[in-house]
A and B are shown apart, each in its own frame.
Chain A
């Protein structure tokens, strides 16, 4: 009993288990938790990547990568996603300095670029399916649609999330909770860009190079 009291008096912060600065502020804890989620998402993508790498030669006599992929379209998609990551970063700066219209502008540009990416990807998928390269055609195509489609699904969710966040900014203003959610959104959006880097390298560039 005495020992415990003595320890408590000597190091009042020792019992929090959070180091010298005391418990971390909520925005740091929230960002950490969301970061853990993002890493688990990346681990899920790694399984899809592994499946694709294993099945890339299993075309079952159907079309293979070089016949299907259009590098120009992939380059435009990459540029869209990269630019939207940049405008998302500028949007988070506008949020920090409480500039409401810059925030809306950043969100609008981010949304437009993300939607352009998604539109190009859907057009590519539709073209492939029209040519008979459906997910049912071969194991390679199943793995391709699973991997790239899962990323596209994430982008779609990100776009919906962005619209919801802008509605929250319009209604609630820059409340602490809204700001934390916006920080999580920008983490999510940047992480999607990281996954796309691995994706265009493994699927589109390694797939067409001899």
Chain B
């Protein structure tokens, strides 16, 4: 019976009694993650406060930075990998992302549409007044 070297779950740094097989020291992985996260957070705060950037693009830039930082957290802190023993976790994550995207995007689109139709344009309102 061969022991597969991929026995890792999220947050699972080392199976006890077995040598670590991460590249570099495991503390280094957390440190790299922290540095990347600090960099992305600082950039987010800078983007939100600067006047150098084109204002309508700022929310999109903030969204991209946030998603990048979530990715950094998943890889460096939660240790989501593509290893065979992590397939279930990755698939569950993909399903979760799908549901989150559906809930948020669906709610925003539907409520925006509803709002746009609720507000009656001024001239139509005037027409209604004229008719009665």
Contacts and interface: CB of A to CB of B under 8 A. Distances in A.
Given A31-B10, A42-B96, A43-B96, A206 B77 contact: no
Contacts of B8: 28
B82 interface: no
A27 interface: yes
Contacts of B30: 86, 89-90, 93
Contact of B37 (A21, A24, A82, A198): A82
Contact of B104 (A49, A78, A179, A194): A49
A193 B89 CA distance: 19
Q: Which of B8, B48, B77 has the most CB of A within 10 A?
A: B77
B4 to A, nearest CB: 5
A79 B48 CA distance: 17
Nearest to B3: A21
A82 B34 CA distance: 7
Contact of A50 (B59, B78, B108): B108
B100 A43 contact: yes
A170 interface: no
B23 to A, nearest CB: 15
A31 B11 contact: yes
A145 interface: no
B9 A71 contact: no
A42 B100 contact: yes
A51 B26 CA distance: 39
B7 A25 contact: yes
B78 to A, nearest CB: 5
Interface in B36-93: 37-38, 41, 44-45, 47-49, 55, 58-59, 62-63, 65-66, 69-70, 73-74, 77-78, 84-85, 88-89, 92-93
6 contacts: A31-B10, A39-B93, A92-B11, A187-B10, A208-B48, A209-B48
